[in-house]
Structure 1
């Protein structure tokens, strides 16, 4: 799965001020048509197989609400991993926000299936002192849909600027009390990306998946990237086989915070707090 029309990094210049302003302001930015639809279609086919396998394996998927799952995968499970992480927009955003020594710590996907309900407003993990005191964002979540999202498919909803909200009243540092939900609903933006679009956000910006009342699932790929020392790698198990490692560009290897293995091991999903607070899948 090769991104044949991708411009080389040296041919592309992105507005660093706009990137920083978007992540530190609204908490989310995006790039339209970053990948060809054929590339995304192949990715969607691969994720469908991985999803079936995960559901059949104990601990292979974690519930994130009714009819909604998250599955963490291995980089070499998808044929377009290198295309994704070396896309010039992705690398530029990572370097601008997280610094030149950014670390890829997570690859996985969410699937809100038909019948998925509104999630509670939440963050993906608690904010640390680096953000609460130092006012620095030290992690990013990239999202790439594998379908054209419509209003009835349970679009992702985000409340811009809320990455800076005080979490002192949040359960587990992640889930705001219902007394604050009106604030997020008033600020909410629904995202309707199309195949090929990619976004980057602070996972601390308050967001939720909405109800999927269609007859189609809405799979979305998730790439997690940290600044050095952010610590989100402790929540994940990024594995790469030595044979795959040898095939990777040298410039990419230094950005992968992973363990090298001879054979890939099944990932047992964590995120138990999210599953508890969002209900059974």
Structure 2
């Protein structure tokens, strides 16, 4: 694992004002070259195996639109889990936005395959009271691409600043009506990260996956983190075996919202998003 080498870039990137400004402003932030390509190549191989396995199990891969799936996994399914969650930038972002008692609640991956279409504009879950009334973000989603994203691969698209939009009238409080699409399209930014880059966003910021016109998949690892009381762990089932838990750094253990088990159990995916299953509405 490597971190950004340029000292000036590192200093600015780790500044609390920069982190807060990005996530409370546009709703997305990133760090280029957070990991070396060999680390990402190994992650890509592991995700490929996990994805093939999930497709063979009933309910193993949850549909997020045509030719698009989400798979929740166990932390020890990937060799780089500890590298990821102890990365100085990841820790700095979590502590700055969510506070020192943040909890890791989810790890999984999205795979938009060739033929995936535009998703409807959406947020990943209804805005909590902390955000609606308190104007506070209480959860974050980190993303790591396992490929160099190109324009024809269905890049992730986000409408900056929309994490603060009132979603009370949205379908399921997640899906804005089509009359609002022109606004999101005017704001939209497509993200084309390279292997080694990492980003973090509020899952409330309106976003969508776009059409994959290429012959390549675009897998992306997802790490979900909560502030105390956010309760997104109720949508997930983070499990760690006792054997693996004993190998973890002591300061990491307190940041895991998980079950300690003798043997890993098949995950029953709780975070289905019905409005995404059929593609663009």
TM-score under structure 2 length normalisation: 0.95
Which residue in the other structure is 1:240 paired with? 240
- 1:205-228 Cα offsets, whole Å, 9 max, x none, are 000000000000000000000000
Which residue in the other structure is 2:184 paired with? 184
Is the aligned partner of 1:139 residue 2:139? Answer: yes
Which residue in the other structure is 1:127 paired with? 127
Aligned ranges 1:206-217 → 2 under 5 Å: 206-217=206-217
Q: How many residues align structurally?
A: 274
Which residue in the other structure is 1:115 paired with? 115
- 1:124-170 Cα offsets, whole Å, 9 max, x none, are 11001110000000000000000000000000000000000011221
Aligned ranges 1:1-281 → 2 under 5 Å: 3=1, 5-6=2-3, 13=11, 14-272=14-272, 274-279=273-278
Runs of 4+ that moved beyond 3 A: 5-8, 275-278
Structure 2 Cα separation of the partners of residues 95 and 49 of structure 1:
33
Structure 2 Cα separation of the partners of residues 275 and 197 of structure 1:
30
Structure 1 Cα separation of the partners of residues 208 and 248 of structure 2:
35
**What SS does the aligned partner of 2:109 have?**
strand
Report how far residue 268 of structure 1 moved. 2.0
* 30 and 7 in structure 1: CA distance in 2 versus 1, 3 angstrom threshold: closer
Task: Return 5+ residue gaps in structure 2 as ranges.
Answer: none
RMSD: 1.4
- 1:171-207 Cα offsets, whole Å, 9 max, x none, are 1111101111111011000000000000000000000
Report how far residue 21 of structure 1 moved. 0.3
* 52 and 260 in structure 1: CA distance in 2 versus 1, 3 angstrom threshold: same
Report how far residue 279 of structure 1 moved. 1.0
- 1:6-33 Cα offsets, whole Å, 9 max, x none, are 489xxx6411100000000000000000
Structure 2 Cα separation of the partners of residues 83 and 46 of structure 1:
15
* 158 and 276 in structure 1: CA distance in 2 versus 1, 3 angstrom threshold: closer
Structure 2 Cα separation of the partners of residues 23 and 262 of structure 1:
38
Report how far residue 104 of structure 1 moved. 0.1
TM-score under structure 1 length normalisation: 0.95
Structure 2 Cα separation of the partners of residues 86 and 175 of structure 1:
34
Structure 1 Cα separation of the partners of residues 51 and 184 of structure 2:
31
**What SS does the aligned partner of 2:94 have?**
helix
Structure 1 Cα separation of the partners of residues 211 and 103 of structure 2:
33
Report how far residue 276 of structure 1 moved. 4.2
Preserved CA contact (<8 Å) 1:119 1:278: no
**What SS does the aligned partner of 1:163 have?**
helix
